[in-house]
Structure 1
Amino acid sequence: MKANRFITRTLLIRENEWELVNRLFTFEFFQGISIAIFFYCSISLFLEHLPTNALAYAFILSAVLLWICGAVYSRLEHRFETKHLILMVVGINAALILFFRIGLLFDEPVWFYYLMLAGFNVAYLLNNLEFWGSAALIFDVRQSKRLFSIISAGDIPAKLVGFLASGFLGKLIGQEPLLWIAFGSLIVSIYFYRRLIATGAFEKKEHKKEHEEEHMNPTAEGALHLVRENPLIRQAALISFFSYSAFILLNFLFFGYVKEASHNESENLAIYIAVFLAGSRAITLLFKLMVTNRLADNLGIRTSLLITPILLFAMSLIVLPASMQNSLLTVFYAFATITITIDVLRAAIQSPVLLAAMQPLPVHERLSGHTIIKGITDPFAFFFIGTLLAIFFFVYPEVDYRVMSLLLFVLIIGWIVSVLRFGRIYNQTLQKAIRDRSIQEREISITDRESLQIMQDKIARGEPGEAVLALNLAKDLPAETRKEFLQSAVENLSPFVQLKAVVLARQWNMKEFLPNLRILASSASDYQVLTATIAALSEMDESFNSATFLRHLNPDVVAATIAQSIKRQDASQSFATELLQSWVKSEDHSLRQKAAEIIGDAKSPPLLDMLRVLMNDSDVHVKEAAILAAGKQKTMEAAAELLGYIRFAPWQSKVIDALQSNGAASVQQVRQFIITCDDETLQKKLILLLGRIGGKSATDALDMLADEIPSMTDTLFRAMSHSGFTADQHNNSKYLRMCRDYLNSGAYIAYIIRYLENKKADTTVIRAFESEMQMLRDRLMYLFSFIYDRVSMAKVKAGFELGSRESISNALEIVSITTARELSKDFIALFEDTSYQQKCSLLEGTHPEPRLSEAVVADEVFRDLHHQYHSWTKSVVMYFLNKDIPSTVKKSIGVFRFSKDPLLKQTAEWLIGKSTLA
């Protein structure tokens, strides 16, 4: 059946979803008629033959049977595929109705009516489990928000028809024969279920047999574990418990009053019940079709879930004072209004939105959550309310509306609190749905003396690896203990352990260990240990005299001493500088290389002239050491010197690394170089360098470059993201404007793609425009991360990279939660996993469709009218649409002969040559 465009747009149904939604709706419609008639017969016969107080015990019996059936359903699901299980559930429900119809042919004992009402609740549970379980498998998170209320709305007109027919036919033929209609309706639903299977929806979602366990509902133990471990399911279960408990309590009070109002006359009672149930379902139908899907999509999950309890809270404030004044008629009308309200809003908003909120969970947990709510939590609500009522009537045989009002008030408060917590948990779960979990490192703490002694012995006499491990564990120990450990390490015969002790003493700034370091400086035989000790003493001991080591025979020791002496500006600085100067001029390239390394360690501006000499050295090793040393200077002068060598290909990567080491001091020099540079590849490298440098100066420079060289937007956004750029009050409007411009460009390109698809254009041309759309999507995600939440947008990017329909849906849901509605609406329309026909249908309201032709498309691309197109797209359009390009447009192609892009240049020359020959 072809979809009516007005209906699909009104109900927010995509064109490719229509057939599936239509068949699910019809399947649920006939099941709904059966369930409605079954409930009508069960409740009417129960109230006709038993007092209202007996409902409490029927609730308790229902709870027990529901728990048993939920467990059986879970086990069956582990044995059968979903599509077969659904057929089995329909058969079980038909058998239940047939059993009770045959039972009513005989004289029924009292327990039969208890069993019949409880049997209805079992049938209703099984119907919910199979229907919502299948819907959860078929639809993703964004579809669920739009469509759950639509597909489940088939249940509402069905119940409307069922209740009205029951009320009027019941007067003519009696209530018992109505069960034959219920039975027949279930049989008819099987035909429509076969049509649903034919769509292949279940085949797309179900895995092979070895993977089916992941899609099964949990056992009782698994359910309890899931409730403990999964906060989203736990909170959803709490919401369901409070809302369903309030629903059961209100229905008990209302049906009890209706029974009294009808004076126990079965015909009047049946009409009362039929009118009430039919009226509430009529209102629910309107809400579901016209309001619910828009609420969830526009207001979000938490706000939608709050509507029902907040409204009931306000209404309960009216009931509570009235019940205290014993105004029975007022209380009844108030309870009747609340009952209809909760019945409508639970069915129209609460249930579909709550189940839609489960969609970010993995399939197994999602199905488990549905089963926990319907098969465990809801029966517990029956048991809870039934037990409370039974205890109440045991103590006080009459209904006290004051107590009932207070109980209702408490349930609504619990409901509201649960929803408020649920909103935060839902957002966290949604983001977690498309990211990997991180593993926390464990810390080890040893404090007992015996263990410390063992560690100290290991440090003093153990293998180097064991000793170093024990030293690392000492960082959080008391200073005295750490000193003892370091002393033991110095006594270890391994230079590696001694070196580690010196490094840790310097790192921990252990001044109390200075005497030990002085002894080590005079006795160390290993040059690495000695140079590390000199560095530690120079930094930690102001009285340390390094002059002795300037005449050491080992050049590494001398080099370390020169660097520390110049850095400290101590008494030996003059001699150290002269010694360094002699090394710079030495014919021994190894000494010149050490001189460069010393300058790097010393970080002294007066040494820059020596560094310039070494950067021009003929020896490559000296030159490399000098470039690295320049990067350690942290000065603008060093950055300027480094940029002088960046165009030399052999040194480019080294210079860029050195500029990064130079940090913020490089930023302004690099920015000016980027602006004047005519090498696009080098520009990109330096832009990314600014991103790696980071900090405010780098982000400010990138922000300015975004205005100065817009042709580098993609590279700039990537660098800005890497640097942690966040828009502020000064530039926020600029990036919001960019978002709107890109969304407008995306809409125009979407119309072009639809036009090309309708014209059966070459797929290469269509793919070129699709790549432009992908580029726009990536730019918009960067912009959203600058304006809104960086972490959330990282999850969005990951979702798109995964590429599955579900991950993309989750990503779009995060966009809708995180960004402004005016932006997210167009973004979702452009990048949802739908056809371009559907995308354009969604865009028509805000982006008028342009009048397109091949000439208009070519002119758009060549002149970059709405978007700056990639050279590849221009080349493709030029090649494949050349026959349709008018001469007026071809005139604009001439400029491409001078393009730096070789493909664009050659294509332009080819087309111009072809035109000349023609």
Structure 2
Amino acid sequence: MPDLTAQQVKEPKGNAFKAWLLKLVPVKPEEWGLVLSLALLLAINSTVLELSDVVATSGFVSNAGPTQLPWLWLLDMIITLVLTGAYTLIVDRVARIRLVAILIAIVAVLYLVILVMFRLGAPDWFNYLLLYILTDQQWIIFPLAFWALANDIYTMAQTKRLFPVIGAGYAIGSLMGNLLAVGSAVFLTQRGISSSSLLVVGVMMFMVGLVVLWLTFRKRVVRARQSREEEVNIREMFQVGVDFFQNVPLFRWLAIVILLAQLSLTIIRYHFLFTIDQTFISDLQFQAFYGGYNAAFIIVTLLFQGLVTSRILSTMKLKDTFFALPATLLVAVGSAVFIAGMVGASAGAFLAWVTERVWDEPVRKSVQGLVPDERRGRVSAFLD
């Protein structure tokens, strides 16, 4: 009987499918369990975050007016600086898993407090202001703790391959949150119910998130060095971050780029929200459009993050990956300036946000893996 050559031996269908799946999504079979759990945590957080952000933004702009947005953002930034400073005091001294659990529990309680304020008849503009500030702190601080935990789990090589896939959980949750905002706008309008009732959904989902966190890490040990300093003061904590940026050129220039990019994104966002407010009359109309717009944004984000970003990043040098966002912002600003009305404002904001989310964010999270474990939380807080 003649010998069969290697080319004549057919590969089993199961192995062929696994090879195709690994080529499509660069996750090894033994990595899927933890990757999916981390992606689910991101999805839960982003579902609540996006739903609350749409409700808070549409509610505040409709009740207080778009001209009050700069004051809201100024107040929000002051609170962000204070809370980020407080976060840096504990981030490298508390186990990452415990820190993430504490953050989830605190945010859930605060959502419940704001819901009670709506029920007690506090001014709507004030309630939406508080909700906006809460969602913004959730958007800033939770990812800091989450990605610090993820960097403790994976090596630098794994982060470039797996972080875009894990980040797809954020995209999925964001899509769910925005679709829920759109659907609820129609439902609540028909029944005359306040959008504040959606806060109950957020509280319940965070309870689910705590369960997921416990099930994921109850038998898993995360080994990472923690700060052993006995005395803590905020000046020393800030000095750690400042010294790191002064002595590491990569992070110093990266911080400058991020500062300028975020300034551009803020201007683009204000122009976009101002244009929406001039176009739609009621806050629920605002909510429906804003949620639908965000849903389209998330679909594009999901496709790129899950199928494109990780492949391109793995073939590029790290220093070359930071040029995409500044170049895109130039195009986005040009679109908003030279194309009048909703088309120019929407297109410019869409392009800028997609690039920031699907490309720049995974790049920034990956480069944080270069920071020593005991300093990573504080340095990432400064960087973000």
With the length of structure 2 as denominator, give the TM-score of the two structures. Answer: 0.87
**Distance apart, 1:170 and its partner CA:** 2.8
> Following superposition of structure 1 onto structure 2, how do residues 274-353 of structure 1 map, counting pairs within 5 Å?
274-317=291-334, 319-320=336-337, 322=338, 328-329=340-341, 332-353=342-363
What is the identity, as a one-letter code, of the residue corresponding to 1:30? I
CA contact (8 A) 1:38 1:97 kept: no
Task: Say if 2:119 is the partner of 1:105.
Answer: yes
Q: Per-residue displacement from partner, 1:90-133 (whole Å, max 9, x unpaired)? A: 11111121111111113333444333211211121221111111
- Give the equivalent residue in structure 2 for 1:636: none
Unpaired stretches in structure 1, ≥5 consecutive residues: 375-918
Match of 2:48 among 34, 52, 60: 34
For 1:83 and 1:29, locate their aligned partners in 2 and report how far apart those are by CA, in whole Å: 17
Structure 2 counterpart of 1:38, one-letter code: S
Alignment match of 1:53 (pick from 60, 67, 80): 67
Q: CA deviation at 1:276?
A: 0.9
1:14: how far off?
A: 2.3
Q: Is residue 214 of structure 2 the alignment partner of residue 194 of structure 1? A: yes
Determine the structure 2 residue equivalent to 1:132.
147
Residues 740-763 of structure 1, C-alpha deviation per residue, up to 9 Å, x if partnerless? xxxxxxxxxxxxxxxxxxxxxxxx
Q: Percent identity?
A: 17
Q: Does 1:176 align with 2:196?
A: yes
List alignment gaps of at least 5 residues for structure 2: 1-13, 189-193
Please give the alpha-carbon distance, in whole angstroms, between the structure 2 residues aligned to 1:181 and 1:12: 33
**Native 8 Å contact 2:328 2:352 kept in 1:** no
| C-alpha deviation, 1:212, in angstroms | 10
Query: Equivalents in 1 of 2:290, 2:66: separation in Å?
Result: 14
In the alignment, residue 355 of structure 1 is paired with which amino acid?
K
Mapping of 1:643-722 within 5 angstroms? none
Could you tell me which amino acid in structure 1 is paired with residue 250 of structure 2?
L
> How many Å separate the matches in 2 of 1:14 and 1:154?
17
Q: Deviation digits for residues 795-815 of structure 1, max 9, x if unmatched? A: xxxxxxxxxxxxxxxxxxxxx
Contact 1:77–1:85 at 8 Å: present in 2 too? yes
Asked if 1 retains the 8 angstrom alpha-carbon contact of 2:37 and 2:216, the reply is: yes
Give the Cα separation in 2 of the matches to 1:303 and 1:98.
45
Q: State the shift of 1:219 in Å.
A: 1.6
- Cα distance in structure 2, aligned partners of 1:192 and 1:237: 34
Tell me, in whole angstroms, the C-alpha distance in 2 between the residues paired with 1:233 and 1:131.
20
What code does the residue aligned with 2:111 have? Answer: I
Native 8 Å contact 2:108 2:206 kept in 1 = yes
Q: Letter of the aligned partner of 2:161 in structure 1?
A: R
| 8 Å contact kept, 1:319–1:335 | yes
| Post-superposition offset of 1:308 | 2.8
Stretch moving more, 112-121 or 98-107 = 112-121
- Partner residue, 2:6: none
In structure 2, which of residues 14, 37, 41 is the aligned counterpart of residue 23 of structure 1?
Answer: 37
Cα 1:39/1:52, change in 2 over 3 Å: same
C-alpha deviations, 1:570-616, integer Å up to 9, x for none? xxxxxxxxxxxxxxxxxxxxxxxxxxxxxxxxxxxxxxxxxxxxxxx
8 Å Cα contact 1:132-1:370 kept in structure 2: no
Superposed displacement of residue 292, structure 1: 1.0
Counterparts in 2 of 1:52 and 1:318: CA distance versus 1, 3 Å:
closer
Contact 1:90–1:190 under 8 Å retained in 2: yes
1:76 alignment partner AA: I
- AA aligned to 1:139 is Y
Q: Give, as a single letter, the amino acid of the residue that structure 1 aligns with 2:107.
A: N
Paired letter, 2:210:
I
Structure 2 counterpart of 1:141, one-letter code: M
Structure number with greater Rg is 1
Aligned to 1:156: 171
Q: Distance in 1 between matches of 2:363 and 2:275?
A: 31
The aligned counterpart of 2:181 is 166
Q: Contact 1:149–1:288 (CA<8 Å) still a contact in 2?
A: yes
Question: Offset of 1:77 from its aligned partner?
Answer: 2.6
Q: Equivalences for 1:765-780 in 2 at 5 Å?
A: none
- State the shift of 1:218 in Å: 7.1
CA distance in 2, matches of 1:318, 1:90: 38
The reply to whether residue 75 of structure 1 matches residue 92 of structure 2 is no
Residue by residue, what CA displacement relative to the aligned partner does 1:469-493 show, whole Å, maximum 9, x if unpaired?
xxxxxxxxxxxxxxxxxxxxxxxxx
Who is 2:256 aligned against? 238
For the residues of structure 2 that align with 1:17 and 1:157, how far apart are their CA atoms?
19
Q: CA RMSD in A?
A: 2.6
Tell me which of 7, 22, 25 is aligned to 1:8.
22
Matched letter for residue 191 of structure 1: V
Letter aligned with residue 360 of structure 2 = Q
How far the C-alpha of 1:64 sits from its partner, in A, is 0.8
**Partner residue of 1:357?**
367
Whole-Å Cα distance in 1 between the matches of residues 379 and 101 of structure 2?
Answer: 22
Cα distance per residue 1:192-234 (max 9 Å; x no partner): 111221352xx24224785999xxx972232223222232222
Q: Which residue is equivalent to 1:87?
A: 101
TM superposition shift of 1:348: 0.7
Counterparts of 2:154 and 2:145, CA distance in 1: 14
Structure 2: distance between partners of 1:367 and 1:123: 16
Number of positions where the alignment pairs a residue of Structure 1 with one of Structure 2 = 361
- Contact kept, 8 Å, 2:264 with 2:329, in 1: the verdict is no
**One-letter identity of the residue aligned with 2:69:** L
**Corresponding residue for 1:800?**
none
Q: 1:38 to 1:212 in 2, by over 3 A?
A: farther
The amino acid of 2:179's aligned partner reads L
Within 2, Cα distance between the matches of 1:13 and 1:106?
49
Corresponding residue number in structure 2 for 1:368: 378
Residue 240 of structure 2: aligned partner: 222
User: How far off is 1:371 after superposition?
Assistant: 1.1
Whichever residue aligns with residue 133 of structure 2, its letter is: A
Q: Specify the alignment match of 2:288 in structure 1.
A: 271
Distance 1:150 1:224 in 2: 31
> Is the CA contact (8 Å cut-off) linking 1:223 and 1:368 kept in structure 2?
yes
Which residues of 2 match residues 417-816 of structure 1 at below 5 A?
none
Q: CA deviation at 1:149?
A: 1.3
C-alpha displacement of 1:341: 1.1
**C-alpha distance in 2, partners of 1:71/1:112?**
25
Local SS of the residue matching 2:195: coil
Tell me the CA shift for residue 65 of structure 1.
0.8
